[in-house]
Amino acid sequence: MIKVKTTSRDPVTSYARNVVSGKIIAGPHVRHACQRHLDDLEQAPSRGFFFDLEKVKRVVGFYQDVLRLNGGQYEGKPYILLDWQKFIVGSLFGWVDSEGLRRFRVAYVETAKGSGKSPLSAGIGLYGLVADAESRAECYAVATKKDQAMILFRDAVAMVDQSPQLSKALSKSGVGQMTWNLAYHRSGSFFRPISSDDGQSGPRPHIALIDEIHEHKTNIAVEMMRAGTKSRRQALIFMITNSGSDRTGPCWQYHEYATRIASRQLEDDSFFSYVCALDEGDDPFADERCWDKVNPSLKAGIPGKRYIREQVNEARGMPSKEALVRRLNFCQWTDAKNPWISADVWMAAKRNYDWRSLRGRRAWGGLDLGSTTDLTGLVLWIEPEEYGQPWQLVTFAWLPEDDLLRKEELDKVPYLVWKSSGYLETTPGRAVSRLAVLRRIAELQNMFDIQCIAFDRWRIEDLKQLAEDEDIPLPPMEPFGQGYKEMSPALDKFEAALLNGEVVHDGNPILTWNAANAVTVQDAAENRKLSKEKATGRIDLIVAAVMGAGIAIGNQDTGNIDDFINTPLYA
């Protein structure tokens, strides 16, 4: 077994007292976890659990004396745990039962991105491999896919490469980035990556490290590990994660369970939690003083205030990034993976105007037909008459009349109220009448000088044929692809106009609802498009608005408004 020195103090209790007293700034769930530790020092012995300070000193010493960090300025340096990290590993290895076996069998750790969770986790795996007195220990880095599992495992391999003791004691299978196994022959133990796809192999984990649990769609990976622990006396499942966006997935369930355990709403002596969160009323975009609550390594310069400030500044200028920054950097669970437009930005663009007063102006538009039973949306971009004035959006929406109440209950929005208020048009039957849409477009041509309307190329021919059959004149119609090639530039145009105050809307509730639901996805080249599959609700009208931006901004001729040439919006 690898020999390690011990430290001379109790870093777990010291951290807990400093957090509870307010000397160390921490969020509500961490404060609860620390109070739980202090209470258990007095109360847990009656339940058969004890705090073994020698075990704490030993595991903290292992990090410092055996492990070495890697990468950048930390390359080859001893792994000196920060106070919050000592609290976690000290709690996990220090609390034992009457037989001296670990009390905690499951741990859930949720902190902001860049806090150092992965190397902390890798260190736990290596300690379980070589210093935990477990014969034939099986230690795993676990994910849904093998590639994801390899990310955490590579941290462990890099630590082994940097550590004189571990590099001599362990044997590696594979070379460099392709290393797939660490073997400790003295005890017949190994450490390797595994995915839920490998479940047939029947793992019997002593230590299971589950990375980014918020990315797991199901609980298969966790249950696969837990099922194999029945033959182990003190197995540990250690889960680390950023905050997530899916409140139906396993991560949210563990998050909720962990916070209730910490606050003592529930009792589970085998479950340890360390969940970073802001207090109610904290706004990390307005006050940096709350950043330490969710970035516990921040005082040590990890990840660094400069980096976080850059993220906040970008989020302020990019609506699609705000939710991502709040989730990853500030532990705020979001309602969608990557909402495109923040509520603040959208509502800042609201103006009071009657679209009928815009008669006679030039207009460009986007039409999202959807399926015959879904929401159909038309959004016109009405050109400003004078330099410095914004574009104005005019919105129309259609649904079939039949089953409108059922759709209202399904979508959880007031379609009937929107209909009676004039925001929603319905057509008889179970499908949206394309003829009604065409007639509305014909009417709008008499009100506006419509230059072009864009819509999904897959449905353009049917609509044109219907217009020809019914002898309804149409403005120029332009097919508009829904992929990255055409949608990404249109998104950029819409976003820039919105942020720069160059487009406004009248608060139409259906368009506003669709904007709140909108989610973008990105390809490898960082092109973006809207995703109806990942959206939190219908987005048909905002898709129409983006298509309108794609053909309106920058594409119009000068006409009688030569003063607009070479301005940022029209150049």
Interatomic CA distance for residues 276 and 109, integer angstroms = 8
Interatomic CA distance for residues 306 and 339, integer angstroms = 25
Q: Which residue has the tokens 């150092």?
A: 116
Residue 451 vs residues 246, 366, 477: alpha-carbon distances, Å: 42, 11, 9
pLDDT of residue 369: 85
If 0-12 CB within 10 Å is exposed, 13-18 middle and 19+ buried, where does residue 412 land? exposed
| 138-143 and 49-51 strand pairing | unpaired
Give kind and range of the element (H or E) at residue 547.
helix 540-552
Q: 107: Cβ–Cβ under 8 A, 6 or more apart, which residues? A: 88, 92, 236, 237, 238, 239, 271, 272, 273, 274
Structural contact between residues 123 and 32, judged by C-beta atoms closer than 8 angstroms? no
Domains of the chain from N-terminus onward: 11-275 (3.40.50.300), 298-345 (no CATH), 353-564 (3.30.420.240)
pLDDT of residue 560: 39
Structural contact between residues 122 and 149, judged by C-beta atoms closer than 8 angstroms? no
Q: Tokens for 45?
A: 């012995």
Structural contact between residues 517 and 336, judged by C-beta atoms closer than 8 angstroms? yes
Interatomic CA distance for residues 491 and 482, integer angstroms = 11
Nearest alpha carbon to residue 106 among 212, 225, 256: 225
Nearest alpha carbon to residue 141 among 84, 198, 91: 198
Mean pLDDT, consecutive 10-residue stretches, the chain (571 aa), reads 57 98 98 98 97 97 94 87 98 97 97 95 97 94 85 92 94 86 96 77 89 87 88 94 87 95 95 97 95 96 93 79 88 77 88 95 92 85 94 96 90 92 93 92 95 82 85 90 92 92 95 91 80 87 96 67 36 31
Interatomic CA distance for residues 285 and 288, integer angstroms = 7
Q: Tokens for 392?
A: 């104005």
pLDDT of residue 561: 34
DSSP-derived 3-state class of residue 428: coil
Q: For 30-45, give one letter per residue: b (16+ CB within 10 A) or e.
A: bbbbbbbbeebeeebe
Q: 241: Cβ–Cβ under 8 A, 6 or more apart, which residues? A: 108, 109, 110, 117, 211, 212, 213, 214, 251
pLDDT of residue 75: 85
Structural contact between residues 519 and 530, judged by C-beta atoms closer than 8 angstroms? yes
DSSP-derived 3-state class of residue 62: helix
Q: Which residue has the tokens 């120029």?
A: 476
Interatomic CA distance for residues 173 and 153, integer angstroms = 13
Beta bridge partners of 519: 339
If 0-12 CB within 10 Å is exposed, 13-18 middle and 19+ buried, where does residue 571 land? exposed
Type of residue numbered 407? K
